[in-house]
C-alpha cells in the first residue's frame, strides 16, 4: 500500500474543497493533519520535515504581513481610497481608477490584503453613487489577481517560485510589469462590455459631499510605515536578499511605543504561514510515494513545450489552488529545458488561472464573501467574465513571454 500517496491525495482533495465534510476543519487544519500523518506513519522523519520547509519564503511572507499590518493601522490604505474617491468623475472613470489602483497596489502589498481592505469601500461608494456594485467588485477581484503577476511580492506563489528559482526582484518586475498593465486594460474592456448599461450614469447631480468617506489616520505611524514600505521596495529593486530585507523591516516596525503588539499580530495571517509550512512537508513526503513519482515522471514526459506547461498549470491551479499547484510543479519545471522563461510561465499561469472561477483564488473568495451580505454574485455571473478574461490574459502573456 502506497501510504504517502494516500495521505497526499486525501490531503490535496480536502485542501481543494476547502473543508472536511461534517467537520469544522479548514485548509490550514487539513494541512496540519496531512503533515502529521506523514510523520506518524514514518514516511518522513522530523528532521526531514524540518529541512523541507523553505524558511526564506516563510520569512518574506511574515515580513510583508508585518509591514502591511502597520500600513493598515496607520491609515495608509484609507488615504489611498480617499484619493480614488476624489478623482471619480463618472462610472467608467471609477472603473479605470479602481482597476489600476488595486492592480498596482496588489503588486507590492499582496493581492489578498488589497481585496480585504478595498471590498467594503467599493460597496460603500457604489451605494452612495447609486451604482451597481457588481462590476466594481468583479473588477477588484480580477485586477488584484492580474496585478499580483507584476512582482515577486504580489502573491505567495510568486514568492515561492522566486525563492526556489533564485529570481531577483528587479528582473521579475522588468519582465512582468509591462504585460500586467496590458492585462489590466483587458479586464476593464471586458467588464465594460458585459456591464455597459451600468457604466453610463450621469454624475452631474451628485455633489462631492456624497462621495466622501470618513477615515482616521495615525500621522506618526503613517510616516514610519510609509518610509519602511518605500525602503523595502528600494532594497528589493537593489536585489538585496528579500528574506533579509523582510525580517529587517518587520523588526524595525515592531520597535514602537504607540502601537500595542497585539494589534499588529491580529492582522498577521498566521494560519496562512502554517498552511505553507505544512504544504512544504506534504510535498516532501509525497516524494516517497511510488505512484506520485510515476505521475511526476509522466507529467515531465507530456510537458515538452511552454504552451503545455501553461495549460497544465492553469488546469492544476483550478483543481487544487495555485500555491499547492506551484509546489507540485516546481520540481518538474526545474528539470525542464523548454524555455528560459519557464518560471515566468509557471508564475503567470498559476496566478491568472485564479480569475477563471470564484474558487480560483483566495482574493476572489474574500471579495465575494465580504460582499455577500449586501451583494450576491453567483458562479455563472462570475465566469461569464472570468473564463474569457483568463483565456485572453494567459494567451497575451504567453505570446509576450514567447517574443521576449
CA dist 7 and 281 (Å) reads 12
CA dist 145 and 352 (Å) reads 6
CA dist 151 and 83 (Å) reads 23
Cβ 263 vs Cβ 73: under 8 Å: yes
Reported pTM:
0.87
Per-run averaged pLDDT (10 residues), the chain, 404 residues: 90 83 88 95 94 92 94 90 83 93 92 89 86 94 96 93 92 96 97 88 57 76 95 95 95 89 92 91 91 85 88 90 88 82 95 91 87 87 95 97 88
SS (H, E, C) the chain: CCHHHHHHHHHHHHHHHCCCCCCCCCHHHHHHHHHHHHHHCCCCCHHHHHHHCCHHHHHHHHHHHHHHHHHHHHCHHHHHHHHHHHCCCCHHHHHHHHHHHHHHHHHHHCHHHHHHHHHHHHHHHHHHCCCCCHHHHHHHHHHHHHHCCCCHHHCHHHHHHHHHHCCCHHHHHHHHHHHHHHHHHHHHHHHHHHCHHHHCCCCCCCCHHHHCCCCCCCHHHHHHHHHHHHHHHHHHHCCCCHHHHHHHHHHHHHCCCCCCHHHHHCCCCHHHHHHHHHHHHHHHHHCCCHHHHHHHHHHHHHCCCHHHHHHHHHHHHHHHCHHHHHHHHHHHHHCCCCCCCHHHHHHHHHHHHHHCCHHHCHHHHHHHHHHCCCCCCCHHHHHHHHHHHHHHHHHHHHHHHHHC
| Per-residue pLDDT at 85 | 83
| Per-residue pLDDT at 182 | 97
CA dist 95 and 135 (Å) reads 8
| Per-residue pLDDT at 184 | 97
Burial class (CB in 10 A: 0-12, 13-18, 19+), 146: buried
| Per-residue pLDDT at 201 | 64
| Per-residue pLDDT at 211 | 58
| Per-residue pLDDT at 207 | 55
**Angstrom distances, CA of residue 337 to CA of 288, 305, 308, 330, 344:** 25, 9, 13, 13, 14
| Per-residue pLDDT at 169 | 94
| Per-residue pLDDT at 86 | 81
Amino acid at each position: 500500500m502506497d501510504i504517502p500517496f494516500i495521505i497526499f491525495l486525501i490531503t490535496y482533495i480536502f485542501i481543494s474543497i476547502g473543508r472536511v465534510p461534517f467537520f469544522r476543519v479548514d485548509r490550514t487544519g487539513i494541512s496540519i493533519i496531512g503533515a502529521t500523518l506523514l510523520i506518524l506513519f514514518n514516511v518522513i522523519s522530523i528532521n526531514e520535515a524540518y529541512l523541507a520547509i523553505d524558511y526564506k519564503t516563510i520569512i518574506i511572507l511574515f515580513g510583508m504581513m508585518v509591514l502591511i499590518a502597520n500600513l493598515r493601522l496607520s491609515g495608509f490604505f484609507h488615504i489611498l481610497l480617499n484619493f480614488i474617491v476624489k478623482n471619480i468623475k463618472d462610472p467608467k472613470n471609477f472603473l479605470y481608477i479602481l482597476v489600476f489602483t488595486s492592480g498596482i497596489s496588489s503588486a507590492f502589498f499582496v493581492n489578498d490584503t488589497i481585496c480585504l481592505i478595498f471590498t467594503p469601500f467599493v460597496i460603500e461608494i457604489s451605494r452612495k453613487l447609486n451604482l451597481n456594485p457588481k462590476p466594481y467588485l468583479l473588477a477588484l477581484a480580477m485586477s488584484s489577481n492580474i496585478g499580483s503577476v507584476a512582482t515577486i511580492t504580489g502573491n505567495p506563489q510568486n514568492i515561492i517560485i522566486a525563492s526556489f528559482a533564485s529570481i531577483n526582484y528587479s528582473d521579475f518586475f522588468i519582465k512582468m510589469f509591462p504585460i500586467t498593465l496590458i492585462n489590466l486594460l483587458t479586464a476593464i474592456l471586458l467588464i465594460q462590455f458585459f456591464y455597459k448599461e451600468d457604466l453610463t450614469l450621469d454624475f452631474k447631480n451628485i455633489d462631492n459631499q456624497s462621495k466622501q468617506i470618513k477615515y482616521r489616520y495615525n500621522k506618526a505611524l503613517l510616516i514610519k510605515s510609509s518610509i519602511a514600505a518605500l525602503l523595502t521596495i528600494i532594497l528589493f529593486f537593489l536585489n538585496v536578499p528579500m528574506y533579509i530585507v523582510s525580517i529587517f523591516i518587520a523588526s524595525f516596525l515592531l520597535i514602537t511605543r504607540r502601537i500595542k503588539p497585539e494589534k499588529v499580530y491580529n492582522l498577521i495571517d498566521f494560519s496562512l504561514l502554517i498552511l505553507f509550512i505544512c504544504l512544504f512537508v506534504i510535498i516532501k513526503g509525497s516524494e516517497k510515494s511510488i505512484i506520485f513519482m510515476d505521475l511526476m515522471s509522466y507529467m515531465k514526459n507530456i510537458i515538452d513545450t511552454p504552451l503545455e506547461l501553461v495549460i497544465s498549470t492553469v488546469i492544476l491551479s483550478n483543481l487544487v489552488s495555485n500555491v499547492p499547484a506551484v509546489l507540485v510543479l516546481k520540481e518538474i519545471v526545474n528539470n525542464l529545458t523548454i524555455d528560459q522563461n519557464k518560471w515566468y510561465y509557471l508564475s503567470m499561469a498559476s496566478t491568472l488561472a485564479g480569475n477563471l472561477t470564484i474558487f480560483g483564488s483566495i482574493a476572489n473568495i474574500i471579495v465575494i464573501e465580504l460582499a455577500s451580505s449586501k451583494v450576491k454574485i453567483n458562479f455563472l455571473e462570475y465566469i461569464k467574465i472570468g473564463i474569457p478574461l483568463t483565456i485572453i490574459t494567459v494567451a497575451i502573456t504567453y505570446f509576450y513571454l514567447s517574443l521576449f
